[in-house]
Amino acid sequence: MAQLQNLSANSWENVTPARKNVDVPEGLWLKCPECAGLIYRKTMEEQQHTCPDCRYHFRVSAKQRIEMLVDPGSFEEMDADIAPVDVLKFADKKAYSKRLTDEQKKTGSKDGLRAGRAFVKGRPVVLAVMDFTFMAGSMGAVVGEKITRAVERAVKENLPLVMVCCSGGARMQESTISLMQMAKTSAALARLDEAGGLFICLLADPTYGGTTASFAMLGDVIFAEPKALIGFAGPRVIASTIRAELPAGFQTAEFLQEKGFIDRIVARQDLRSEIARTIDYCGK
């Protein structure tokens, strides 16, 4: 036991502490949250939204992710018209319906996920990408429905399913409805599994809560971006429950790989070829 503890203590030294400021600031120049270097925005964007010096991976919207991931012009969106309905009439300090219209205006999307067919290095795939810019990528009925349809499409057309997760978890404003999307997406994935379909999942920063506890952890192959934070309960909730500080590097992709829950950490630059290679190995 003591040996085990030592081992994990050693491994935590290899990972850097969680970052605080992760929103990408506006402007021509920006500071890298990791190495504190000054970066020219255009260079950062040209290098797949990573820091040219330290390869820090900036968060990206679903649109940017799709552009980086698929063969140019090959994305054919489906179910773009599906929009949320506030059946619970949820209101906290702000009404959910108002929050939705604000987010829709801000992002130009109906909800927090884009799905469609595309090619990755010439291989046809069904793609579903969560959008962290829309209500922190939270999963409500629309996200659940679109994922389920994407899975069903992958089964029907015998295509590999590629999913990019980045989400704060299930959407509180849809309460039990959003909770049930965990069951729905997982049940659909059982069918894909039975049909012998391939499901490649990429976990990007951050992936939490109901998203992690359903489809995100059900990939045949699970990739994660370097240093992405991935977990079930948020670090603040855990810290306040156990009343202790969390170890450095807790819930990072590196931590998860160490604990055996993801297959590989893949840098953004290598993602396209890693996906293509996996598809080829699986004969899909």
Residue 6 interacts with other proteins (CB under 8 A): yes or no: no
**Residues 151 to 170: which contact other proteins by CB under 8 A?**
170
Segment contacting other proteins by CB under 8 A, of 58-66, 69-77, 189-197, 272-280: 189-197
Minimum CB distance to other proteins smaller for 62 or for 135: 135
Instruction: Please say whether the beta carbons of 149 and 78 come within 8 A.
Output: yes
Considering only 215, 223, 249, 271, the residue that binds other proteins (CB under 8 A) is 215
Q: In 3D, which of 233, 154, 239 has the Cα closest to residue 192?
A: 154
Nearest CA to 118 out of 132, 129, 130 is that of 129
- Is residue 246 a contact residue for other proteins (CB under 8 A)? yes
Q: Which of 225, 273, 224, 222 lies closest to 71 in space, CA to CA? A: 273
Helix (H) or strand (E) holding 272: helix 271-281
**Distance of closest approach, residue 153 Cβ to other proteins, in angstroms:** 14
CB nearer to other proteins: pick between 63 and 184: 184
Residues 6+ away with beta carbon under 8 Å from 244: none
* Cβ-proximal residues to 16 (8 Å cutoff; 6+ apart), any chain: 34, 227, 248, 249, 252
d(CA 43, CA 230): 27
Q: Give the residue with the Cβ less far from other proteins, 120 or 198.
A: 198
For the bound state, the minimum distance from the C-beta of residue 3 to other proteins, rounded and expressed in Å, comes to: 16
CB-nearer residue toward other proteins: 177 or 282: 177
Sequence-distant (≥ 6) Cβ neighbours of residue 265 within 8 angstroms: 223, 224, 225, 226, 253, 254, 257
Q: Which of 259, 267, 269, 277 binds other proteins (CB under 8 A)?
A: 259
Binding interface with other proteins (CB under 8 A)? 79, 81-88, 90-93, 110, 140-142, 144-145, 148, 170-172, 174-184, 186-191, 193-194, 209-210, 212-218, 231-233, 237-238, 241-242, 246-247, 250-251, 259-261
